[in-house]
Structure 1
Amino acid sequence: MIFKSKYQSALFIFVMAVSTMVGAACHVSAAVRLVVNVKDAATLEPLEFAAVTFRQPAVAGVSGGHTDAEGSITLTVQPGQAVIELNLVGYKAQRRNLSLKDRESLTLNFRLEPSTSLNEVVVTAREGYNATSASLIDTTAMRHLQPSSFTDLMSLLPGGVTKDPEMGSVNRIDLRSASGMTQNDDYATAALGTAFVVDGVRLNTDADMQITPDANRTSRISTGKGVDMRSLSTDDIESVEIVRGIPSVEYGELTSGLVSIKRKSGAGRLEARFKADTQSQLFYVGKGFDLSGDNTWIINAGVDYLDSKIDPRNNRENFKRVTGSLRSTKRWTGPVARIAWNSNFSYSGMFEKDDNDPDLAVNNTIDFYQNSKHTMRWDNTLRYVPSVASVLQELNLVSGLSYGHEQLEQQKHVASSRVMPMPVSLVEGDNYIGYLPMLYLADYRVEGRPFTASLKSCGRLRFGGSSLSSALKFGVEWNMSKNYGRGAVYDISRPLIAGNNTRPRAFRDVPAMHQLSAYLESETRFYAGKHTLSLTAGLRETQLLHLDSRYELSGKPYFDPRFNLVWSLPPAYVRNYPLGFELAAGAGWHTKMPVAAYLYPEKLYSDFEQLNYYHNVEDYRVMNVRTYIEDMTNYRLRAARNFKWEVRADISYRGNRLSVTYFRENMADGFRSSGFVHTYTYNRYDASGFDPYAAGRAPLIEDLPYQTETYLAVRSKTTNGSRTLKEGVEYTLQSRRLPVINTRLTISGAFFSTTNSNSQSLWYKPSIIANGRELQYVGLYDDLDGNNYRSVNTNILFDTDLPRLGLNFSIGVQNLWLTSRKTLRRDGIPVQYMDVNGAIHPYTDECLSDPYLKQLVRNFTESSFVRQNVPAETSVNFKATKTFWQKRVGLAVYVNRLVYIAPDYERYGITIRRYSTPYFGMELNLKI
């Protein structure tokens, strides 16, 4: 019995031990599924790459990871007491104590606030916490600025200067360019190479081909100048990110920067805006509708109207704009995936009209110029996000369609001081033509129908653990551009310019442009203690398809490698507050393909008078010309390439932040119009011995003696002959709001140095008459025909927010310490010259003694290369906004140059006085 009892006791102990172990095992296996969602406290946007750290005192080790593209992460943890911490660069860290129960599934929602207290009212641009230098502008800043068009937002950037609206010409963007720089079409590639992206779809201007031979109107033509910012209204915009540094390789067709626009989305009250200033009146109304009742289907609609007088004293010149959009956002959530479909339809119309003063015209006539542009866009984005945790984060399919209806009309009375040949010949060789009237009415019209289509498929994968995470972005993009317009439509016997050298050409005859791109980019974050390293490296490939094999661009791929590195250092504590440091650097190539107008230029028609027999009897008059028709296509044209690099340092402390960036850009092959020498041979017929009365007719060239002549001329083609070199320092210091007075101080500014010059040798023919004939030598010069511009400015902004009074006002002091221009040195001596036979010779010292060849030397005075400095000027700007009735009514007013200080200065012994008048306006905002 005792023996049996012993074994029974042992068996009992064994069973109890096993039961305890199984119970313990069962208890450990009862894991908790913890879902963490992280969003921006101000914008409610999901925050990716937020570091989530989960600690439990009872469990050894630390678990966690990083949020995905939806700002979410799922952890499997044990029940009990725990601490969860969230960290993300640019945001305040959060820590929360948890008590997790057995077999519990828990979802935690976090709202991270920016580390510089940006959840408060911010009335200016702020530097983003990105891998590259970028400015973020939200609705609050735009509302305080009270803009008329997107152009006004440029004053918020570091180095930006507040300017009065200029609606009488194309408003092109010039990022990181010195103030006071002269607008020159030979250096428009910087504007053309700034990409505008609206809700993920790029605005494509490659098919714009509007032209005019009237030199007084070329400033109103946007062909080859990129997006005209006058066409962009700001009222439907929720936020703008302007990337001045190295953008992601997801974005191509750019050389200078990226403007990413996100329009308003979400249900809300009816909003209305009425603005009036000294030049314009603006009206806007918009609203968001929740059609589903649960925010799964949102419709946003808005319309904007602007009427602007170029000069308030002249009602003959005006600019009008009408914009409207209808935007739909539909979301579906299922067990497998979350799907979102954004569909946007937009319309933009611009209308320009200019009538001349009949008192200043020929025979008291009224001439006019008017240009209208209607653009309709339909963009769609389909987004797929898996509902369960996986390597695949998202897939996107983005499409865009755009169609424009552009019509330029001009009526002009043309008066000639001498008899001019009628430019009507359409075949090469000898042609009998008539004479242009000494005074006639020209009706000129250009019809453009630009159409663009784009399709983009992209996605993102994500890998990593607690100390290392990586996201892989990839995509393929196709773009098509074609103009279906009739082009210039006019009577060739009544041209707009008497010396016309073109003939009507239908834009629809120009082949379509097809572009294919692909990109791959990795963003890796490494966490080592309190250090964080973020490396973004990518490669983009771009090429044009279906080009004629004669083009150098045919089948040629361009590769754009880019990288950005950010190092976030551990904070140093000063008076128990963390002092944060961040260092960043980036570099990369950027490529912009030529537009259709550059790849397929118009043919050049040159008419040389061979016989000009202008008799008193009209029947005996005759004009004969030798016509040359030349293809001005530059088959060696390449893409414009810009290499950019920058370094940046950020310091933040208690809601105060200082950001300083040094950058350098070098684009050596921008697009410009360069000269090429053409040789023409024609006959000069002598009709002095011809008797029309005896012959009873006008003379014929077959019956007349002649002398053969050769003529040299410099004709222009589009080349890669422009260089734009930019470098400088940008800085922004933004304080937290001071207590009691609730005022924030923002100091921003920049030193910019911009050099524009030619990167290829230039041909030049002097207009010199020697022995009664035009000099028939052309020189080739290696001189730099360009200028260096510099500017230094500082903007100091005091903005005060008084929520209890519903009042927000700011005082801005704009200091333009220095603007200067220096003409690059040229010696004026050619390196080669071409004679009348088309032979090229070196230009030697002996040529300086030749009475004809020495005329090729271009003489410059030493004073023309002296830097011209404009001394400092200071202006004070004031803006204020007052809200009433639970912030549903807002009244705003602004005055630019309320105080203006600009001392007189002397140049070449002449006193230059500077004057300025205030520019003011006001607006009313309603939320119903």
Structure 2
Amino acid sequence: SGVVPYSHSYLPGEMQVSFLPGSYMCHYVLDGKPINVFAQLKANRMFIFPKGTVNFKLGIDYTLSANKGGGMVYDHDFPPIQGDGQSVRPRSYESLPSMHTLSAFVENHTEYSIGTTVLSIQPGVRVSRLMIDKAQALRGDINAVDPRVNVSYKFLTADNNHVFDNLSLVGGYGLATKMPTMAYLYPTPAYFDFVSYNSYAGADNPRNLAVMTTFVVPNTANHNLKPACSKKFEIGLNGRVGRVLGSITFFKENIDNEYGFQSVPISAGYNRYVIPQADMVSSTIPSYIDGALHYTMADGTVKKAPAYFQREVRSYSMPANVYETDKHGIEYTFNFGKIKPLSTDLIIDGAWFWIKRRSTGNGFNSSRVVTDVDPASGITNYNTYLAVMPAGSGSVRSRVNTNFRFVTHIPAIRLILSTTLQVVWQESVRNIYEDADGNPLYRAATSSYGKPMLEVLPVGYYDKEMNYFDWNPSGVERPEELVTRYSNPDYFTRQDYPVTCMLNFKLTKEIKKYVQISMIANNFLKFSKVYRQNKIGGYKELYSPMYFGAEIKAKF
């Protein structure tokens, strides 16, 4: 995009910087040297009673994760990306603290015979502690308690009926905590680079000079970051009738405090230097001395350029708990055993999923409005606004699919052929923008061309002095720039996709008991279709790309 000034300073302040050429080759190395250590100590004891057993387990485990690499390493004068908005600086992985996790768990599996039926209860709990560098993460260690319980009741057996060899009612409930990773606990600092002066007159021209002001947020960690937590409940049936083995399970899962990044507004001030128009001639030479811009006239006179203070509103990314997900569905699998004339097993499995994911953190829209142009300096003055958009954007997805697996085993030549037909019977997606109660936050509107559209209004806004105001369109210039608008009036309408099917194939040759050679071909009939999304717009590839491969497994 042409020659531009570029700063790679890690320190805040105003300084003279160099120029990036209009085009250049960047070489960089992503240097990672991960270290992972895991240790576990377990013990168990079984007690046998006349009508059942009790198997008691307990243990502790320790995990260490660290990285001694240099991260992204490159020449500072030839960066892989130019600074735009929140700029990037190289950061060594070795500067990040190690992650230490200590956990203890206890579990009890009890089976008890009740006549011809069997009741199985398996409760357990895991207690974990993630040890954190408090200075860098701005918070203390994270503790988590994850209880769970699984229950199975085998109420039909070969001893009490003539149809089912086994039919069990199964269920479970539990919590699962997901600890934050290094990227969320120790995020990179935020750097903002503002151009205070920029003069480029050609290669090696003495008039070339660039001054930039760097604004640094040294620690972008979130002291309110919470661990993500999944609560899952499931209930189902599994059993066997003759050669047919099957199971069907209904599940419901809610995930709170999912990780992501949210914008945090800041206000940054910097000086703009301008050489007066009357002194701007081809022989004027600018220079940056003692924290100020000077310029030398043709007669040798040195003058100090006036400075004009400006302020802008920007935002940086901070790790946060910004999403929540609700899932429910049904999973099933049926193994029909071997079809003897074909020496083939038929296995049918599939699922129905309904997934709703919604943001819980606010977003921002920004706007810069010209107020005036200073006649002496020619500097354009702006009013900068940062609109606060409500949380609630997301999507609702549903999918019904079935897999038909045909596994043929030919022992005489030690050959296994596996063919899978994948069928997606129903698939849909719907964009949402709603509050916690499910009420839509968008409304119908009309564009300046008289066409129907949708819009979401801000809940408030910041001015460039970081004063917050509740949303009032009469309080800002050009309020339409701060409103989130959708030109497609069907953007929040459900998008349905057609039925699709795809064939995958795998051929495995066994060489004695030690070696297996396999050939794999997914979507080998090369089904391909790009579907035009007539509701939400755009296109979607409905099939996975065709690919072939091979693998060798050896056991010693």
TM-score of the aligned structures, taking structure 2 as reference length: 0.81
Q: CA deviation at 1:764?
A: 2.9
Using the TM superposition, name which of 442-451 and 710-719 deviates more.
442-451
Q: What residue number does 2:67 align with?
A: 483
Q: Does 1:645 align with 2:233?
A: yes
Q: Deviations over 1:713-764 (max 9, x none)?
A: 1211221112233221111111122344433221111112233331222233
Deviation at 1:478, TM superposition (A): 2.1
Contact 1:800–1:810 under 8 Å retained in 2: yes
Aligned residue for 1:661? 249
Q: How does 1:327-338 map to 2 (within 5 A)?
A: none
Give the Cα separation in 2 of the matches to 1:918 and 1:550.
46
Distance 1:726 1:914 in 2: 23
**Distance 1:539-1:678 versus aligned 2 partners, 3 A rule:** same
Map 1:879-898 onto structure 2 (within 5 A).
Answer: 879-881=506-508, 893-898=519-524
Within the candidate set 665, 684, 696, 2:272 is matched to 684
Counterpart Cα distance in 2 of 1:520 and 1:914: 45
Matched, 1:779 2:387: yes
Classify 1:898/1:605 alpha carbon distance in 2 versus 1 (closer, same or farther; 3 Å). Answer: closer
How has the CA–CA distance of structure 1 residues 457 and 892 changed in structure 2, closer, same or farther, with 3 Å as cutoff?
A: closer
Other-structure match for 1:818: 426
Q: 1:509 aligns with which of 95, 108, 126?
A: 95
1:864 aligns with 2:448: no
Question: What is residue 377 of structure 2 aligned with on the other side?
Answer: none
The answer on whether the counterparts of 1:668 and 1:721 sit within 8 Å (CA) in structure 2 is no
Q: Corresponding residue for 1:127? A: none
User: Unaligned regions of 5+ residues in structure 1, if any?
Assistant: 1-416
Give the structure 2 partner of residue 841 of structure 1.
469
- 1:546 and 1:926 mapped to 2: Cα distance? 42
* Stretch deviating more after TM superposition (692-701 or 462-471): 692-701
Partner SS, residue 314 of structure 2: strand
| Residue 711 of structure 1: how far off its partner (Å) | 0.6
User: What displacement does 1:696 show?
Assistant: 6.1
Structure 1 CA distance for aligned equivalents of residues 97 and 350 of structure 2: 45
SS in 1 for 2:134: coil
Write the distance in 2 (CA, Å) between the matches of 1:773 and 1:817.
58
1:495–1:774: structure 2 CA closer, same or farther, 3 Å change rule? farther
Closer, same or farther in 2 for the Cα pair 1:775/1:748, shift >3 Å? farther
2:481 pairs with one of 830, 833, 855: 855
Counterpart of 1:698, as a letter, is S
Q: CA deviation at 1:767?
A: 7.3
> 1:898 Cα shift?
4.7
Give the one of 704, 723, 731 matched to 2:324: 723
Q: Write out aligned runs for 1:549-698 (5 A).
A: 551=137, 553-571=139-157, 576=162, 578-615=164-201, 618-630=205-217, 631-689=219-277, 690=279, 698=287
Aligned partners of 2:198 and 2:190: how far apart in 1? 22
Query: Any conservation in 1 of the 2:251–2:330 contact (CA below 8 Å)?
Result: yes
Paired with 1:696 and 1:911, the residues of 2 have a C-alpha distance of 55
The amino acid of 2:212's aligned partner reads: V
TM-superposition CA deviations, 1:790-809 (whole Å, max 9, x none): 22111112333343454443
CA distance in 1, matches of 2:492, 2:318: 28
**SS of structure 2 residue aligned to 1:865:** coil
User: Aligned partners of 1:872, 1:887: CA distance in 2, in Å?
Assistant: 42
Displacement of 1:871: 0.3
The Cα of 1:917 is off from its aligned counterpart by 8.0
Change beyond 3 A, Cα 1:553–1:561: farther
- Unpaired runs of 5+ residues, structure 2, are 295-303, 373-379, 434-440, 443-455
Structure 2 counterpart of 1:493, one-letter code: D
1:917 & 1:840 partners in 2: Cα distance?
A: 50
Structure 1, residues 136-165: CA drift from partner, whole Å, max 9, x if none? xxxxxxxxxxxxxxxxxxxxxxxxxxxxxx
- In structure 2, what is the Cα distance between the partners aligned to 1:585 and 1:868? 34
Q: Structure 2: how far apart are the matches of 1:730 and 1:555?
A: 37
Query: 1:549-588 CA deviation, whole Å, 9 max, x = no partner?
Result: 6857514421111111111113268995544211111111
Residues 531 and 809 (structure 1 numbering): CA distance in 2 closer, same or farther, change over 3 Å? same
From the superposition, tell whether residues 843 and 659 of structure 1 become closer, same or farther in structure 2 (CA, over 3 Å). same
Partner secondary structure for residue 338 of structure 2: coil
- Kindly indicate whether the alpha-carbon contact (under 8 Å) linking 1:880 and 1:892 is maintained by their aligned counterparts in 2: yes
**How many residues get paired?**
509
Q: Which residue of 2 aligns with 1:357?
A: none
Residues 431-442 of structure 1 mapped to structure 2, 5 A cutoff: 431-442=15-26
Q: Distance in 2 between matches of 1:629 and 1:903?
A: 48
- For each residue in 1:804-859, what CA deviation from the matched residue of structure 2 results, as whole angstroms up to 9, or x when unmatched? 45444344322111222211135211112111110111114xx2685433431112
- Identity percentage of aligned residues: 26
**Equivalences for 1:426-505 in 2 at 5 Å?**
426-499=10-83, 501-505=87-91
Spell out, residue by residue over 1:328-348, the C-alpha distance to the aligned partner (whole angstroms, 9 max, x if none): xxxxxxxxxxxxxxxxxxxxx
Structure 1 residue 599: Cα displacement: 1.5
Go from structure 1 to structure 2 and tell me whether the alpha carbon gap of 1:856 and 1:433 turns closer, same or farther (over 3 Å shift). same
- Return 536-545 or 690-699, whichever deviates more: 690-699
1:438–1:804 CA distance, 2 compared to 1 (3 A) = closer
1:620–1:692 contact (8 Å) kept in structure 2: no
TM alignment of 1:60-139, pairs within 5 A? none
Q: Going by fraction, where is helix more abundant, 1 or 2?
A: 1
For residues 744 and 439 of structure 1, do their structure 2 counterparts lie closer, same or farther at Cα, with a shift above 3 Å needed?
Answer: closer
Decide which structure has the larger Cα Rg and report it.
1
Alignment partner of 1:824: what SS? Answer: strand
CA contact (8 A) 2:117 2:156 kept: yes
Cα distance change, pair 893–759 in 1 and its aligned pair in 2 (3 A) = same
Alignment of 1:322-471 (within 5 A): 417-471=1-55
Note the C-alpha offset of 1:779. 1.6
In the alignment, the residues of structure 2 paired with residue 483 and residue 916 of structure 1 have an alpha-carbon distance, to the nearest angstrom, of 35
**Root-mean-square deviation over aligned CA pairs:** 3.4
Q: Would the alpha carbon gap of residues 732 and 624 (structure 1) be closer, same or farther in structure 2, given more than 3 Å must change? A: same
Query: Helix, strand or coil: the match of 1:636?
Result: coil
1:605 & 1:737 partners in 2: Cα distance? 64
Matched, 1:873 2:460: no
Residues 637 and 720, structure 1, Cα contact 8 Å, conserved in 2? yes
1:526 to 67, 87, 112: 112
Q: What letter matches 2:388 in structure 1?
A: L
Instruction: Note the C-alpha offset of 1:697.
Output: 5.3
